[in-house]
Amino acid sequence: MDDKNYVKELTKMDDNFADWYTDIILKAELVDYAPVKGFMVIRPYGYELWENIQKVLDSKFKETGHKNAYFPLLIPESLLNKEKEHIAGFAPEVAWVTHGGDNELTERLCIRPTSETMICTMYAKWIKSHRDLPLLINQWANVVRWEKTTRPFLRTAEFLWQEGHTLHSTAKEALEETLKMHKIYADFCEEYLAIPVIKGKKSEKEKFAGAEATYTIEALMHDGKALQSGTSHYFGNHFAKAFDIKFQNKEGKEEYAYQTSWGMSTRIIGGIIMTHGDDRGLKLPPNIAPIQVVIVPFAQHKDNVLNEVEKIKNLLSKKFRVEADVREEYSPGYKLNNWELKGVPVRIEIGPKDIENESCIVFRRDTFEKQTVKLEDLEEIISKLLIDIQSNMLQMAKDNTIKHTYTAKTLEEYTNIFKEKQGYVKIMWCGCTECEDKIKELTSSTIRCIPFEEEHISDVCAICGKPAKHMVYTARQY
RNA sequence: CGGGGUGUAGCGCAAUUGGUAGCGUACGUGGUUUGGGACCAUGGGGUUGCAGGUUCAAGUCCUGUCACUCCGACCA
């Protein structure tokens, strides 16, 4: 019995989290490795998840007045070089195109690691007057960053994302936009992905190359490591000056535009997996799950069973994303395990005995509870159940975050925490980069963000003892 | 780029002192099954990462090389 099943067994998530992670994303058929190292193939089930994320975010962007557009994949080297901090930040990890057919190009082209430079170049042509502002554009695209070590979703050489790029006539308005999008990301994570996040600002050391300020949402994974899940940058007129994006204001004077950019990537899928998954596999929040309800029939060869399955499917399909698993070549037991592995939030089991009683069994993935439900009540029960699962998953993730949040007042306390634990550690910080470098060297943890909501732990920096400026969240990170 | 590890069937592994490659699973076919990863029968699948060397004989020993992977540094 044991040796029959061992290939199917999942790695236990507590034993080795990294193995567990790669194990389930492959077995749940979200991704596969590509022939080119560092790249991943997103399989249909994984891509449906991404499509659902896209759908929700896209509608939120449109509600706030943004429009989608598309810009080229390749960026001439000269454009990339226009903003020096930006190029310094990205140069080590860009991929270059040097040939067109057999001919060597006179100027090599980089595959976009992000589109600021390309988009700024176009914006400079499009903006003449304050009447052209604000310009609110988003792009859904792929980008390439030649990373040394990769892991599917979390850090791949190519990833899918959206990048919003906006121009404004005042600094105030641009900053408001930056914070507005930051809030959209945070709300999206909590409401749809059931991932609680810490909202805050990045330190000078951690901010985006070329930005004046970077705002971030940080999520804590099941193993106590943090994941930067979405960023929103305020550029001031840094890029505008480098790319000559000017407009005439109401007084007729020429002025540089103020700019923002913000992005969320397929990395967030890694976040969903590592926030909610368990020893049985994925656990997807109902609001984003490709399949919300799966119907597994027992003894399906008996005629009336399949009829009943069909009826239930038709009924529920009006309101939910439903799939009926009527594959004959797999046993019911296999299907139960397989759909748990794939993280479907609700499962309906139905067989001859249930049909006789005009009922079925409803199973919830988050708590493993089973209940017998009369068929006439099914739609209503499922409706409530999905809402309940969604909020329960958020609550469980919040509890886990709280459980893994510590505070330290001294450097000794701080390093001791990281010797045996993983999680957020709240400390006071003087604001200098030397102290950031020091904790990274000692514990390989970094300042994740300066939260919007700071607490007062003490008056002095936990690292150097000088007067503290901020309370910060630190953690080891993905 | 530094330190460790591994390369044998799609995947996971085995092969004693050097003796000519096997097991599980997955896959094909036929049948029986179906309330928690079904069973029986049967079949296909391999230049043992690559190159060279020692030997009557190399998966096994030697030399070189390549690839992958884990831990560090760099990063959404």
For residues A232 and A242, what is the distance between their CA atoms, to the nearest angstrom?
Answer: 20
* pLDDT at A1 (0 to 100): 25
Contact (Cβ atoms closer than 8 angstroms) between residue A108 and residue A97:
yes
Positive/negative CA dihedral, A325, A329, A335, A338: negative
**Which residue is nearest nucleotide B36, judged by alpha carbon to C1' distance?**
A333
CA distance to A158, A261, A289, per residue, from A292 (Å) = 29, 33, 6
Q: Using the CA of A22, which nucleotide's C1' is the nearest one?
A: B69
A117, A83 Cβ separation under 8 angstroms = yes
Token code pair at residue A405: 């949040």
Report the C-alpha gap between A47 and A54 in whole angstroms. Answer: 10
Q: Please tell me the pTM assigned to this model.
A: 0.95
Q: Beta strands A424-429 and A470-475: pairing type? A: antiparallel
A250-CA/B40-C1' distance, Å: 86
Contact criterion met (CB below 8 Å) for A268 and A236:
no
User: Strand B: which of residues 384-423 in chain A lie with Cβ below 7 A?
Assistant: none
Nearest nucleotide over every DNA/RNA strand to the A156 CA, judged by C1'? B76
Alpha-carbon Rg for chain A in angstroms: 25
Q: A375 is written with which tokens? A: 């068929």
Token pair listed for A431 = 């604001």
Give chain B positions with protein CB within 7 A: 1, 10-12, 24-26, 33-39, 67-76
Q: pLDDT 10s digit of each residue in chain A, 478 long?
A: 233 334 467 777 877 888 888 888 988 999 988 888 888 889 999 999 999 999 999 999 999 999 999 999 999 999 999 988 898 888 888 999 998 988 999 999 999 999 999 999 999 999 999 999 999 999 999 999 988 888 899 999 999 999 999 999 999 999 999 999 999 999 999 999 999 999 999 999 999 989 999 999 999 999 899 999 999 999 999 999 999 999 999 999 999 999 999 999 999 999 999 999 998 999 999 999 999 999 999 999 998 999 999 999 999 999 999 999 999 989 999 999 999 999 999 999 999 999 999 999 999 999 999 999 999 999 999 999 999 999 999 999 999 999 999 999 999 999 999 888 889 999 999 999 999 999 998 898 999 999 999 999 999 999 999 999 999 999 999 8
Beta-carbon contacts of A337 under 8 Å, excluding residues fewer than 6 positions away, are: A8, A280
Residues 6+ away with beta carbon under 8 Å from A84: none
Pairing of the two strands A213-220 and A198-201: antiparallel
Nucleotide with C1' nearest the A338 CA: B37
Judge whether residue A471 contacts strand B, using its CB and a 7 Å cut-off: no
Predicted confidence at residue A326, as pLDDT, reads: 94
Confidence at residue A8, expressed as pLDDT on a 0 to 100 scale: 60
Rounded distance between C-alpha atoms, residue A317 and residue A292, angstroms: 10
Contact A155, A147 (CB under 8 A): yes
Copy the structure tokens of residue A105. Answer: 């190009």
Separation of alpha carbons A81 and A83, rounded Å: 6
**Under 8 Å between Cβ of A275 and A343:** no
Give residue A341's Cα distance to chain centre.
20
Separation of CA A129 and C1' B74 in angstroms? 42
Nucleotide with smallest C1' distance to residue A33 CA: B68
